[in-house]
Amino acid sequence: MTTATKKVGTVEAIFTKLTAVDLITMVVFAALFRILFMVYKMAEIIFPWNHPAWYFFCMLCLAPAVMIVRKPGATFLFTVSWLAINFFFQGEIPLWWIGAATIPLIPEFYMFMRAKQMGGAKVAFTNLKELIIFGLIYTLLAYTTNMLLIIYALGNPMPRILFWPVGALALVIGAVGTYLGYLVGQKISGLVG
């Protein structure tokens, strides 16, 4: 008697490695990101000065999430989660999902390559230097797609002169968020297990 085995593609194989606990962890961190940003917004700091804070909270939550899950595909699912939150609770344009879903691809690929070189995803995802580079790539791509949405799709009359300084600030703040997220990740990964 032979046992039939189901063949899975490379992309499917990446997601097969993620358990329900991993998926829920990513969703919870994405929800934390949106809630923390909402709490921050309650301080009544408005656009464009609130905009770099978006990257701070994003990286503050993404860094510990990938440190806990430590598997390829986790960043993509984190992004899908916050996109879903934006859609369900903010009414964001569904067509924009196509653009925004590409944000995590390059950071994922970078970590995948580094994990191969460093001898495992667990080593790469807990290395501060790698996390900072990963965070900077993610911030840069997220900033670009966010600006495309804000300026071109929603037509926000943001002066173009602010585009570069706000972007530079977003990168710096994103890196700070990654560093703090790393510290939070170190603390909670021990507590959560």
Residues in touch with another protein (CB under 8 A): 12, 15-16, 18-28, 30-32, 34-36, 38-44, 46-47, 64, 77, 80-81, 84-85, 87-95, 153-160, 184, 187-188, 191-192
Neighbours of 175 (CB within 10 A): 19
Distance in Å, CB of 7 to another protein, minimum: 13
Distance in Å, CB of 149 to another protein, minimum: 11
* CA–CA gap between residue 15 and residue 23 (Å, rounded): 10
* CA–CA gap between residue 115 and residue 109 (Å, rounded): 10
Task: Output DSSP code: residue 17.
Answer: T
Distance in Å, CB of 170 to another protein, minimum: 17
| Closer residue to another protein in complex, CB, 77/169 | 77
- How far is residue 33 from each of residues 3, 64, 113, 166, measured CA to CA in Å? 45, 11, 27, 20
| Closer residue to another protein in complex, CB, 98/129 | 98
Nearest to 55 by CA among 138, 116, 149: 138
| Closer residue to another protein in complex, CB, 47/109 | 47
| Closer residue to another protein in complex, CB, 1/42 | 42
Half-sphere exposure in the Cβ direction for 34 (13 Å, CA) = 18
* CA–CA gap between residue 70 and residue 182 (Å, rounded): 13
Distance in Å, CB of 82 to another protein, minimum: 9
Distance in Å, CB of 93 to another protein, minimum: 6
| Closer residue to another protein in complex, CB, 135/140 | 135
